[in-house]
Amino acid sequence: MTNEDFMRAAIMEAEAGMRAGRGGPFGCVVVRRGEIVARGSNRVTSTNDPTAHAEVTAIREACAKLKTFQLDDCELYTSCEPCPMCLAAIYWARIPRVFYGNTRSDAAAIGFDDDFIYQQIPLPPEQRAIAMRPLLRDEAQGAFREWADKNDKVRY
């Protein structure tokens, strides 16, 4: 299969999920060694899960199927440029290559405006639209100290 074939598979996931009423018009496939190992479509409204974006659902399925939390030998094909949450999930999964169809501007034109989140990320916490303030940092540091000293930790 070609890159175009994989992108068409992601687009088909977007269309199928949307038409089935699972969520917005977004689809994704994860590919490993020329084979689709996972598929995802947006399931936000059908699962009442704001994190159930197509990329996240596909990454979760790929990790479960491959029994790993790092997909560094995979590629991700998504019908739309990833939002900030999905982009972060892609980085955490260590996926080295992403192909996308629609742009975030295309998504904004139909009511999915991620630009607000992109604008919020670089702001200091106290300047963000969501109220954020530190609390009990000294107590929270205990778990971090324990992790730092843990000999059998699995790094990720």
Task: List the chain pLDDT tens, one digit each, 156 residues.
Answer: 999 999 999 999 999 999 999 999 999 999 999 999 999 999 999 999 999 999 999 999 999 999 999 999 999 999 999 999 999 999 999 999 999 999 999 999 999 989 899 999 999 999 999 999 999 999 999 999 999 999 999 888
CA distance 29 to 10: 5
Q: Is 154 left (phi over 0), alpha (psi -120 to 50) or beta?
A: beta
32-60: b (≥16 Cβ within 10 Å) or e: eeeebbbbbbbbbeeeeeeebbbbbbbbb
CA-based max dimension of the chain: 53
Calculate the CA dihedral of residues 37, 43, 49, 52 and round it to 10 degrees. Answer: 30
pLDDT of residue 64: 98
pLDDT value, residue 144: 95
DSSP character at residue 128: S
Residue 139: active-site member: no
Continuous segment of H or E residues that includes residue 31? strand 27-32
Residue 36 Cα distances to 10, 98, 125, angstroms: 10, 14, 39
pLDDT of residue 113: 83
Beta partners for residue 36, in sequence order: 31
pTM of this prediction? 0.92
Residues 25/18, Cβ–Cβ less than 8 Å: yes
Catalytic residue among 4, 55, 61, 139: 55
- Predicted pLDDT at 84: 96
